C-alpha cells in the first residue's frame, strides 16, 4: 500500500532505480529526492571527482508535443526517473497556445493540482522554461522596438511565473535573451584583452557591420549605419586657425556685435557672430565658389563621436541643475537624468545620424530662407501693383469712353509668336500681375513654412536619437527587473502560505551568438544591470537598500546553456599556424575560462546541459558533440554552484529510442555509478556499476541486469488520477 504524507513522498522502502538518494543527502523540504526506507544501500554513487549523482541530472521537455500533449502524458515523464523536470512552453508571446505550442494558461486548477501532487508524491521538482517565442525583453520587432511587443513578453513572463508558483512552488523560470543583433567584430569584448579579435561573424565584418539608431519616442529604427560607408557633410564655420578671422583677431577671444564672447572652437556666422549648433553655417570657399564639404569615414566618425561626447559632457556640467526649458532646446536632452558624467557617451552611429540630420536641417533652413526672401520680394511687388492698380483704376474711370483706346496696352505675345497680339486696359493687365504675385506669395509662404517645419522636425528628432544598443539594453533592464519584482512577490506569497520550496527566479538564458546576451560578458551585464534596476524598483516600493539588493539577487540570474556556448565555435578565428585540433583546444580554453568568469560573477542560477558540433543547436546528449561539458560542470562545481543540471534532449527524440536516452548518455558521460536494491547492492558493493552496462538493454553484457524499464516497467493501464502508480 502506498502512503502519501504531507510532503513525505513514498514510505514503502521502494528505491528508485535512478537512485536519486544514492549520496545519502539530507531530504529536507527543498531536497526533492530519495526515500527513507531505513535500509542502508550504500553511501557512494557520486562521480568521484565532481561529486555528482545520477539524481542530480534533470530533464526538460516541451509540453504539447507528442506524448506530452496531455497532463497524463506529462505525468508519465515523472516515472522516467529524473529528479528534476523542466516543463517547456512553446506558445508565441501573447498567444493562448494550441497543438504543439502549449501556454501556461492552458492548464487549469485541477490540472495544476495533478502535476503538483504527482511531483510531491514522487519527490520530483519542477522548473519552467517560459515561452520559447520570447527572444529578449527589449521589445525588438521588424521595424525596430515596440512597447507593445515588450509588454506582451512581460505578460508572458508573469503567467509563466504564476504557473511555476502553482505547479513547482518556486524554482527557476528560464527566459531567452537576444535583445538585439550586434556586430561581433567591434564588440567591446572583441576589441581588447586576452581574446582580442578572436571572433568574426563573416569576412570583412569590420567594413560591413551595421549599427541601428532608433527614435526613442517610437522605438522605430531611423537609420542603419555601416562601417564601410562614408557620409558627406558641410564643413561648419568655427572660430579657429583655419578661419581667416583667426588671423585678424590674432587667435584671441573677442566680443561679437551682439555682445557675446567668442572663444576658440565656437561656431560663428559670416559676420563673426557666435551662433548655436542648430544655426551653424557652412564654410564658403571663395576660390572654388562653393561650400566646403568633407567625407566622414568610420574612423572620422569615431573622432566626431569623441568630440560630441565632450560637448555633451560640457553641456551636462553647465546645465545639470537647469530647468526643463534649457534641456528641451538641446540635442543632449536624453542625458538630462544622468547621475554621473562618465555615463555620457555618444556612439559612432549616433554621430552618423547627428551629422546627417544637421546637414538636412541646414539644407531645409537654406531653402526656407530663399522662400522667405522670395516671399518678401513678392509682398513688396504686390503692394506696388495694388497702388498702381488704384491709380489706373481712377484714370480709367475718369477717361471718356471714346478716349480709352489710348490706354490700351498690347499684351505681350507668347515666346513663339503664334498667338495674335491682344490689347487690354492697364487695370486688366495689373489684375493679372496681382493674381500672379498672390499665387507666388502663397507658394513661397507654404514652401518656407514647410522647409522651416522640416528643419524643426529634424532638429527635434536629434533630441530623441539613441543607438539601438543602449536603447535596447535600457528597455531590457527595465523588463527583466519588472519580471524579477513579480517573481519576488509570488515567492513571498508562497512563503506566507508555507508552500515555498525555492525562490522563484527569472533565469536569463545565453541564447545564440548573433544577438546580445549570448556572450558571457553580455549576460553578466544583463543580469547585474537588471538587478540594479530591480533594486531601484524595490526601494520605490519601500524596501531598504539591503533588502532590495537581496531580493534582486534571489530573483534574477542566468541560465548557462552549454550548447549555446559551444555555438561560438563556428565564429572562432583560429591561428592559421595551428591545425584544427589545436585551434579547437584554444576555443575550449576560452569557453572554460568564460564559464569560470560567469560563475565567479555570481550570476549563474540554472544550467542546461546539451551538446552540438559548434554550428547549430541540435541538442545532442552531453558527450555526443565537441563541447567540453564535463569540464564546464567541473568549473561550476568548484566555484560553488549547487543549482539544477537540466539535460535538454533534442536529437535523441528522432535518432534514438527517445529523449530519455540523452539523460542516460549523460550518466555515462559523467561516469555516474548506479545502485539498486538487489542482493548485490549491500554495503560491500556500494560503488555500483556504470550506466554503460544497461543503457541499450542487456544483450552482450557480462553481468545480469539490475535496472529494468520499458517492458518491465509498471503497467499504466490503471493509475490514480494523480498519475501515481499503485505498489
> Whole-angstrom Cα distance, residue 265 to residue 245?
12
Burial class (CB in 10 A: 0-12, 13-18, 19+), 39: exposed
Judged against a pLDDT cut of 60, whether residue 15 lies above it is answered with no
User: What's the pLDDT band for 186 if we cut at 50, 70, 90?
Assistant: confident
Query: Bigger pLDDT: 682 or 626?
Result: 626
Q: Dihedral angle at the C-alpha atoms of 87, 90, 91, 96, nearest 10 degrees?
A: -40
User: What's the pLDDT band for 17 if we cut at 50, 70, 90?
Assistant: very low
Judged against a pLDDT cut of 90, whether residue 85 lies above it is answered with yes
Domains of the chain by residue range:
54-136+145-204+466-712, 205-363, 365-462
The stretch 548-558 carries a mean pLDDT of 97
> Whole-angstrom Cα distance, residue 466 to residue 330?
14
Residue found by looking up cell 545620424 in the block:
353
DSSP 54-95: GGGEEEEEETTSGGGGSHHHHHHHHTT--SEEEEE--PPTT-
> Whole-angstrom Cα distance, residue 636 to residue 628?
13
> Whole-angstrom Cα distance, residue 347 to residue 466?
9
Burial class (CB in 10 A: 0-12, 13-18, 19+), 700: exposed
Burial class (CB in 10 A: 0-12, 13-18, 19+), 253: exposed
54-136+145-204+466-712 and 365-462 share one CATH topology? no
Share of the chain above pLDDT 70, in %: 82
The stretch 546-566 carries a mean pLDDT of 97
The stretch 79-87 carries a mean pLDDT of 85
Residues 200-259: tens digit of each pLDDT: 998 888 888 888 999 999 999 988 888 878 888 888 899 999 999 999 999 999 999 999
Judged against a pLDDT cut of 50, whether residue 469 lies above it is answered with yes
Are the CB atoms for 530 and 480 separated by under 8 Å? yes
Judged against a pLDDT cut of 90, whether residue 272 lies above it is answered with yes
The stretch 61-78 carries a mean pLDDT of 83
Q: Which pLDDT belongs to residue 627?
A: 97
Which of 81-85, 96-100, 585-589, 629-633 has the lowest average pLDDT?
Answer: 96-100
Are the CB atoms for 476 and 140 separated by under 8 Å? no
Judged against a pLDDT cut of 90, whether residue 582 lies above it is answered with yes
> Whole-angstrom Cα distance, residue 282 to residue 267?
10
The stretch 371-398 carries a mean pLDDT of 81
What is the chain's mean pLDDT, rounded?
Answer: 83
CATH architecture of 54-136+145-204+466-712: Alpha-Beta Barrel (3.20)
CATH architecture of 365-462: Orthogonal Bundle (1.10)
> Whole-angstrom Cα distance, residue 186 to residue 206?
7
Q: pTM above 0.85?
A: no
Judged against a pLDDT cut of 50, whether residue 639 lies above it is answered with yes
Query: Bigger pLDDT: 402 or 299?
Result: 299
Are the CB atoms for 662 and 649 separated by under 8 Å? yes
Amino acid at each position: 500500500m502506498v502512503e502519501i504524507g504531507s510532503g513525505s513522498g513514498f514510505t514503502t522502502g521502494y528505491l528508485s532505480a535512478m537512485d536519486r538518494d544514492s549520496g545519502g543527502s539530507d531530504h529536507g523540504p527543498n531536497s526533492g529526492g530519495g526515500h527513507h526506507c531505513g535500509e542502508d544501500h550504500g553511501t557512494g554513487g557520486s562521480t568521484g571527482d565532481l561529486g555528482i549523482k545520477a539524481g542530480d541530472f534533470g530533464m526538460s521537455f516541451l509540453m504539447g508535443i507528442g506524448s506530452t500533449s496531455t497532463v497524463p502524458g506529462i505525468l508519465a515523464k515523472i516515472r522516467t526517473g529524473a529528479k528534476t523536470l523542466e516543463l517547456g512552453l512553446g506558445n508565441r508571446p501573447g498567444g493562448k497556445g494550441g497543438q504543439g505550442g502549449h501556454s501556461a494558461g492552458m492548464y487549469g486548477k485541477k490540472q495544476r493540482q495533478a502535476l503538483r501532487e504527482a511531483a510531491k508524491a514522487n519527490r520530483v521538482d519542477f522548473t519552467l522554461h517560459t515561452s520559447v517565442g520570447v527572444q529578449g525583453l527589449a521589445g525588438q520587432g521588424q521595424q525596430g522596438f515596440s512597447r507593445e511587443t515588450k509588454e506582451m513578453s512581460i505578460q508572458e513572463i508573469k503567467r509563466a511565473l504564476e504557473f511555476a508558483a502553482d505547479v513547482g512552488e518556486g524554482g527557476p523560470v528560464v527566459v531567452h535573451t537576444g535583445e538585439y543583433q550586434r556586430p561581433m567584430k567591434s564588440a567591446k569584448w572583441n576589441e581588447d584583452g586576452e581574446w582580442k579579435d578572436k571572433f568574426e561573424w563573416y569576412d570583412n565584418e569590420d567594413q560591413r557591420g551595421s549599427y541601428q539608431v532608433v527614435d526613442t519616442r517610437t522605438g522605430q529604427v531611423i537609420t542603419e549605419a555601416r562601417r564601410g560607408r562614408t557620409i558627406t557633410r558641410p564643413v561648419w564655420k568655427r572660430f579657429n586657425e583655419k578661419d581667416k578671422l583667426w588671423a585678424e583677431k590674432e587667435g584671441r577671444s573677442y566680443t561679437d556685435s551682439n555682445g557675446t564672447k567668442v572663444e576658440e572652437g565656437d561656431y560663428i556666422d559670416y559676420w563673426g557672430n557666435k551662433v548655436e549648433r542648430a544655426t551653424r553655417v557652412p564654410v564658403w570657399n571663395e576660390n572654388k565658389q562653393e561650400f566646403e564639404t568633407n567625407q566622414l569615414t568610420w574612423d572620422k566618425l569615431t573622432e566626431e563621436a569623441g568630440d560630441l561626447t565632450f560637448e555633451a559632457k560640457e553641456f551636462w556640467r553647465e546645465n545639470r541643475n537647469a530647468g526643463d526649458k534649457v534641456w528641451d532646446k538641446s540635442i543632449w536632452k536624453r542625458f538630462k537624468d544622468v547621475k554621473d558624467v562618465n555615463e555620457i557617451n555618444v556612439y559612432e552611429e549616433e554621430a552618423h545620424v547627428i551629422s546627417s540630420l544637421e546637414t538636412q536641417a541646414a539644407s531645409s533652413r537654406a531653402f526656407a530662407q530663399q522662400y522667405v526672401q522670395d516671399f518678401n520680394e513678392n509682398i513688396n511687388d504686390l503692394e506696388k501693383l495694388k497702388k498702381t492698380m488704384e491709380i489706373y483704376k481712377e484714370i480709367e474711370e475718369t477717361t471718356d469712353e471714346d478716349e480709352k483706346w489710348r490706354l490700351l496696352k498690347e499684351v505681350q505675345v507668347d515666346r513663339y509668336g503664334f498667338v495674335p497680339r491682344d490689347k487690354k486696359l492697364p487695370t486688366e493687365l495689373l489684375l493679372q500681375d496681382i493674381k500672379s504675385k498672390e499665387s507666388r506669395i502663397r507658394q513661397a509662404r507654404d514652401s518656407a513654412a514647410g522647409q522651416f517645419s522640416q528643419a524643426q522636425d529634424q532638429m527635434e528628432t536629434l533630441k530623441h536619437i539613441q543607438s539601438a544598443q543602449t536603447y535596447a539594453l535600457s528597455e531590457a533592464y527595465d523588463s527583466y527587473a519588472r519580471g524579477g519584482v513579480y517573481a519576488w512577490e509570488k515567492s513571498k506569497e508562497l512563503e506566507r502560505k508555507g508552500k515555498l520550496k525555492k525562490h522563484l527566479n527569472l533565469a536569463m538564458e545565453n541564447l545564440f551568438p548573433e544577438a546580445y546576451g549570448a556572450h558571457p560578458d553580455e549576460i553578466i551585464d544583463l543580469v547585474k544591470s537588471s538587478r540594479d534596476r530591480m533594486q531601484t524598483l524595490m526601494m520605490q516600493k519601500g524596501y531598504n537598500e539591503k533588502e532590495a539588493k537581496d531580493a534582486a539577487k534571489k530573483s534574477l540570474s542566468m541560465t548557462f546553456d552549454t550548447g549555446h556556448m559551444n555555438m561560438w565555435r563556428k565564429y572562432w578565428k583560429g591561428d592559421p599556424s595551428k591545425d584544427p585540433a589545436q585551434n579547437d583546444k584554444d576555443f575550449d580554453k576560452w569557453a572554460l575560462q568564460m564559464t569560470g568568469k560567469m560563475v565567479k560573477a555570481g550570476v549563474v542560477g540554472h544550467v542546461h546541459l546539451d551538446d552540438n558540433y559548434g554550428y547549430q543547436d541540435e541538442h545532442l546528449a552531453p558527450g555526443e558533440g565537441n563541447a567540453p561539458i564535463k569540464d564546464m560542470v567541473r568549473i561550476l562545481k568548484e566555484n560553488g554552484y549547487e543549482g539544477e543540471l537540466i539535460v535538454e534532449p533534442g536529437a535523441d527524440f528522432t535518432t534514438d529510442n527517445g529523449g530519455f536516452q540523452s539523460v542516460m548518455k549523460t550518466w555515462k558521460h559523467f561516469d555516474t555509478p548506479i545502485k539498486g536494491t538487489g542482493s548485490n547492492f549491500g554495503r560491500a558493493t556500494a560503488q555500483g556499476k556504470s550506466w554503460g552496462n544497461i543503457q541499450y538493454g542487456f544483450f552482450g553484457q557480462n553481468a545480469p541486469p539490475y535496472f529494468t524499464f520499458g517492458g518491465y516497467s509498471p503497467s499504466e493501464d490503471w493509475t490514480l488520477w494523480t498519475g501515481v502508480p499503485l505498489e
